């Protein structure tokens, strides 16, 4: 998968270079990275593609984890024109995108199929799937049996286009909250085409100190990862709630996580999620009360945190 994506990405890059004449050589070299670092660009949706590209290139990111979904930077129905436009801006600035965020959960949906075809044509290797719910009127095994069909069909589509679909483990009562349910959905699936976007923040929320077991269980299918952090705080009403904070300031045990990450030899594009207070930008708002300069400082601070953890653990980017 990695070799095929590298060949495809290099070929696509060469095609862009031939037509634009403005691409930075860093795009080609970046394609060979084992763990290219992306920004989940929900927090930058108030900017144009050109502005996002300039910021990411300036700060040393490898790429953008673009939102291709309802209220995202690229609307699903406009993917044929919107996604190429976004990639052109990124690659012109010398950065790229090897992962996008979608709402894809219906393999029979024509719009979803068009998203997969478009990303494949552009050399984007990975997409995050849409979330699935548990039907409370049915048992957990019944729910999982039904969702297995979705995963099987998406695997076939991904194989057709030579791409990879990842389901994010997300805290809560949807599929993927307890993590163990994802194993039942994936155990018969080919990890080369479908798997997990592993989120250590959400795994810690749900798993407490047992999350390493879930990580070990899912490791063969982990093909993209997220980085973010949190703390539990008590609200005025006395109830405990989650507060997102910059990586390293919260409860996530990043030292243990990256040691295990290295031991399982997880080679995957990484997306840094900026979900703590950014003046509204963290929610994908079109306006923000925080200055762009201050937001940029948070962007680079988290990038340096991740790079330092890679270096401390001996993980190659």
- DSSP for 107-171 reads TT-HHHHHHHHHHHHHT--EEEPPP----TTS-HHHHHHHHHHHHHHHHHHHHHHT-EEEEEP-S
Distance CA 151, CA 189 (A): 8
Distance CA 98, CA 248 (A): 26
Task: With beta carbons less than 8 A apart as the criterion, state whether 188 and 233 touch.
Answer: no
pLDDT at position 32: 74
SS3 267: coil
**How far is CA 136 from each of CA 34, 44, 146, 147, 232, rounded to the nearest angstrom?**
41, 36, 13, 14, 28
Pairing of strands 63-67, 96-101: parallel
Distance CA 199, CA 225 (A): 6
Distance CA 267, CA 147 (A): 27
pLDDT at position 39: 98
The count of other CB atoms within 10 Å of the CB of residue 243 is 13
Residue-level length of the chain: 317
pLDDT at position 20: 40
Residue stretches of the chain with pLDDT short of 50: 1-30
pLDDT at position 126: 98
pLDDT at position 137: 97
Extract the tokens encoding 162: 């030579």
What percent of the chain is helix, strand and coil (3-state, nearest 5)? 50, 15, 35
What is the torsion angle, in degrees rounded to the nearest 10, for the CA atoms of residue 113, residue 220, residue 254 and residue 35? Answer: -60
pLDDT at position 11: 46
- In sequence order, the β-bridge partners of residue 195 are 166
Site of tokens 């994010």: 168
pLDDT at position 31: 54
Extract the tokens encoding 235: 């609200």
**Domains of the chain (ranges, CATH numbers):** 2-313 (3.20.20.150)
Phi, psi of 266 (to 5 degrees): -80, 115
Extract the tokens encoding 60: 């040393």
pLDDT at position 264: 96
Extract the tokens encoding 291: 């200055």
């Amino acid at each position: 998968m990695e070799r095929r994506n590298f060949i495809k990405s290099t070929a696509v890059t060469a095609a862009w270079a031939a037509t634009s004449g403005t691409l930075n050589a860093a795009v080609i070299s970046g394609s060979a990275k084992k763990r290219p670092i992306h920004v989940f660009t929900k927090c930058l949706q108030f900017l144009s593609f050109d502005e996002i590209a300039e910021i990411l290139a300036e700060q040393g990111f490898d790429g953008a984890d673009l939102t291709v979904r309802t209220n995202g930077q690229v609307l699903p129905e406009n993917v044929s024109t919107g996604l190429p436009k976004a990639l052109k801006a990124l690659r012109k600035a010398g950065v790229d995108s090897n992962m996008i965020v979608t709402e894809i959960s219906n393999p029979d949906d024509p719009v979803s199929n068009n998203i997969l075809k478009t990303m494949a044509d552009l050399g984007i290797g990975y997409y995050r799937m849409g979330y699935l719910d548990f039907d409370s009127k049915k048992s957990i095994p019944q729910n999982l049996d039904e969702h297995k069909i979705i995963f099987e069909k998406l695997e076939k589509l991904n194989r057709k286009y030579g791409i990879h679909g990842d389901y994010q483990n997300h805290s809560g009562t949807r599929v993927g909250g307890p993590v163990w349910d994802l194993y039942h959905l994936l155990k018969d699936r080919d990890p080369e085409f479908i798997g997990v976007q592993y989120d250590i923040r959400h795994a810690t929320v749900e798993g407490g100190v047992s999350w390493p077991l879930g990580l070990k269980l899912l490791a063969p299918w982990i093909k993209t990862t997220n980085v973010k952090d949190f703390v539990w705080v008590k609200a005025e009403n006395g109830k405990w709630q989650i507060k997102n904070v910059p990586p390293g300031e919260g409860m996530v045990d990043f030292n243990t996580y990256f040691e295990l990450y290295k031991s399982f030899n997880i080679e995957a594009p990484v997306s840094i999620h900026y979900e703590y207070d950014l003046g509204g930008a963290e929610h994908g708002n079109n306006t923000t009360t925080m200055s762009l300069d201050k937001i940029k400082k948070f962007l680079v601070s988290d990038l340096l945190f991740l790079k330092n953890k890679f270096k401390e653990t001996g993980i190659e980017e």
